[in-house]
Amino acid sequence: MAATQIAPASGKLGILTPGLGAVSTTFMAGVFALRRGLAAPTGSLTQLGTIRLGKRTENRSPRIADFVPLSGLDDLVFGAWDIFPDNAYDAACKAGVLEKDLLEQVRDDLTAIEPMTAVFDRRFVKKLDGPHIKRQATLWDRAQALKEDILAFKERTGAERLVMIWCASTETFLTAAAVHQSLAAFEEGLKGNDPAIAPSMIYAYAAISLGIPYANGAPNLSADIPALEELARKGSVPMAGKDFKTGQTLMKTILAPGFKARLLGLSGWFSTNILGNRDGEVLDDPESFKTKEESKLGVLDSILQPHLYPDLYGQLFHKVRINYYPPRGDNKEGWDNIDIFGWLGYPMQIKIDFLCRDSILAAPIVLDVALFLDLAARAGMGGIQEWLSFYFKSPIHAPDLYPEHDLFIQLMKLKNTLRHLRGEDLITHLGLEYYD
Ligand SMILES: NC(=O)c1ccc[n+]([C@@H]2O[C@H](COP(=O)([O-])OP(=O)(O)OC[C@H]3O[C@@H](n4cnc5c(N)ncnc54)[C@H](O)[C@@H]3O)[C@@H](O)[C@H]2O)c1
């Protein structure tokens, strides 16, 4: 198999995040801490992962970072937009994820990151209101202003390439309307202030039209509309999403494939959370929660395939709750009660109490997705990057395919994509390697 031509990862890579809150500041502070050798990049495949090549007997398992050309941590620069003017240091202090001690050591780096004014519309995030926003009369003009921000950032930092990752609040639930169906309709809608265009779509539009890869870390409808997919296809711009796979859903996509593999039945899965950060506050609004709920509920059905196993999974009662509870801050507690059944239908229960740090789980995902999207762009891979489904609760996918949620299949797909890029044999784990 021939290797794909991949442009080198030379110069600086700018990572732009709409949203300078818990996730993005934990990510940025983490990169600064890593650069100084203050901590380890735990949870990051690009920094720690290896990839097996060839037959098992060959003992070839290079680090992913040595196998494909990725930007190094020293070459990353950061930019953000937020509806509040706090710089990344102040925002990180407010988010309360990282300890003061660590933040003090990277204070100067964080303080230098001042958010640009946001494109915001309260109709899409009812629980928030902030003063640091763009006020141009049309959505079109706001999109142009975002493009100017991006070009000015590039100029200021000397970044050679950019990627954008939505790390802002979850927007309310939307389904694709007429204005989302084609690029022409969408651009008309921007000029006519169509009320169905959400701010996240405007950021995505600005990025993709400048050839900048875009990923959505939240569950809301954003670049996953025909209009923006068309734009991405036309410009061969990579896009990925959506909703970072952390916390309870990460656990679900680890456990459910195991139950399914052993053909253990499931009659109920009740998940509840208490969460006290700003994300929890936004999700306290039923419309924002509905967006999250849709994203969380889809996972089990697609892993368990109840249409193939109606007796085992056809009657599953799946419920997800998120409760805003300020005393916990970013340290979410998630309980799962799982009702399973085994041989002869005998019932059993599994209880999970996950004392989770959401942004600690999300930060390495932001890093990996940014580095892999940039790799995809340099390898000429445009459109939806399904191989990055590994990182998302609700993977965006081509309309004629169903999404893959099983974490282990997702990982295999990701690694096989890397092998393919480098012209190595794909590994399916199906070969009779003992006899090779
Ligand atoms: N932490 C996780 O594990 C996790 C997992 C999956 C998804 N997410 C999603 O990631 C996003 C960020 O999470 P977080 O914990 O950092 O939330 P956060 O509330 O701490 O940060 C979000 C920031 O976005 C800003 N914002 C809102 N609308 C904006 C806009 N239109 N433009 C620019 N900024 C805007 C807010 O002011 C806030 O500072 C949320 O949508 C969340 O649902 C987080």
pLDDT, position 314 = 96
pLDDT surpasses 60 at 89: yes
pLDDT, position 435 = 39
pLDDT surpasses 60 at 433: no
Q: What is the CATH architecture of 247-357?
A: 2-Layer Sandwich (3.30)
* Cα angle for residues 118, 120, 126 (degrees, 5° grid): 135
Calculate how far, in angstroms, residue 280's C-alpha sits from the geometric centre of ligand 1: 10
Alpha-carbon distance 283 to 169, whole Å? 9
Helices (H), 179-277: 183-191, 199-209, 226-235, 247-261
Against a cut of 0.85, is the pTM above it?
yes
Alpha-carbon distance 79 to 66, whole Å? 27
pLDDT, position 329 = 81
CATH of domain 12-244+360-421: 3.40.50.720
pLDDT surpasses 70 at 302: yes
Q: Which residue, by CA, sits nearest to atom 29 of ligand 1?
A: 168
pLDDT, position 148 = 98
Helices (H), 106-236: 107-111, 139-157, 183-191, 199-209, 226-235
pLDDT, position 430 = 59
CB atoms within 10 A of CB 258: 10
pLDDT surpasses 60 at 285: yes
pLDDT, position 5 = 95
pLDDT surpasses 70 at 36: yes
Alpha-carbon distance 266 to 252, whole Å? 13
CA contacts within 13 A on the Cβ side of 397? 15
Sign of CA dihedral 256, 259, 262, 267: negative
Cβ of 21 closer than 6 Å to ligand 1, yes or no, is yes
Structure tokens of 210? 């400048």
Q: How far apart are the first and last CA of the chain?
A: 19
With contact defined as beta carbons under 8 Å apart, do 356 and 333 qualify? yes
Strands 12-18 and 76-82, bridge-based pairing: parallel
Distances (CA, A) of 67 to 122, 206, 323, 365, 418: 45, 32, 43, 19, 8
DSSP label at residue 74: G
CA contacts within 13 A on the Cβ side of 291? 24
Beta bridge partners of 348: 340
Cβ of 224 closer than 6 Å to ligand 1, yes or no, is no
Cβ of 218 closer than 6 Å to ligand 1, yes or no, is yes
Minimum mean pLDDT among 4-8, 57-61, 68-72, 204-208: which range?
A: 57-61
Cβ of 359 closer than 6 Å to ligand 1, yes or no, is yes
Region 83-100 average pLDDT: 97
Cβ of 244 closer than 6 Å to ligand 1, yes or no, is yes
pLDDT surpasses 50 at 237: yes
Cβ of 231 closer than 6 Å to ligand 1, yes or no, is no
pLDDT, position 431 = 52
pLDDT surpasses 90 at 427: no
pLDDT surpasses 80 at 217: yes
Q: What is the dihedral of CA 235, 233, 154, 137, to 10 degrees?
A: 100
Please, what is the average pLDDT of the chain? 94
pLDDT, position 149 = 98
How confident is the model over 250-264, as pLDDT tens digits? Answer: 999 999 999 999 999
Q: Which atom of ligand 1 is nearest to the CA of 81?
A: 33
Structure tokens of 35? 């650069």
Structure tokens of 1? 């198999």
Region 227-234 average pLDDT: 96
Structure tokens of 392? 């998302």
How confident is the model over 44-57, as pLDDT tens digits? Answer: 999 999 999 998 88
Domain segments of the chain as ranges: 12-244+360-421, 247-357
pLDDT band at 434 (very low <50, low <70, confident <90, very high): very low
Calculate how far, in angstroms, residue 22's C-alpha sits from the geometric centre of ligand 1: 7
pLDDT surpasses 80 at 429: no
Minimum mean pLDDT among 31-45, 50-64, 273-287, 407-421: which range?
A: 273-287
Count, residues in the chain: 436
Report how many helices (DSSP H) and strands (DSSP E) the chain contains, helices first.
16, 11
Region 76-95 average pLDDT: 98
Distances (CA, A) of 307 to 2, 129, 296, 315: 39, 44, 19, 11
Calculate how far, in angstroms, residue 175's C-alpha sits from the geometric centre of ligand 1: 20
As a whole-number percent, the residues of the chain with pLDDT over 70 amount to: 98
Task: At 158, give phi and psi (nearest 5°).
Answer: 75, 20
How confident is the model over 108-137, as pLDDT tens digits? Answer: 999 999 999 999 999 999 889 999 999 999
Beta bridge partners of 82: 117
Cβ of 81 closer than 6 Å to ligand 1, yes or no, is yes
Tell me which residue of 262, 265, 248, 422 sits closest to 319, measured CA to CA.
248
Beta bridge partners of 320: 271
Calculate how far, in angstroms, residue 167's C-alpha sits from the geometric centre of ligand 1: 5
Q: Which residue, by CA, sits nearest to atom 42 of ligand 1?
A: 218
Minimum mean pLDDT among 7-16, 196-205, 220-229, 280-289: which range?
A: 280-289
> What b/e sequence results for 5-23 when a residue is b if at least 16 CB atoms lie within 10 Å of its CB, and e otherwise?
ebeebeebbbbbbbbbbbb
pLDDT surpasses 90 at 275: no
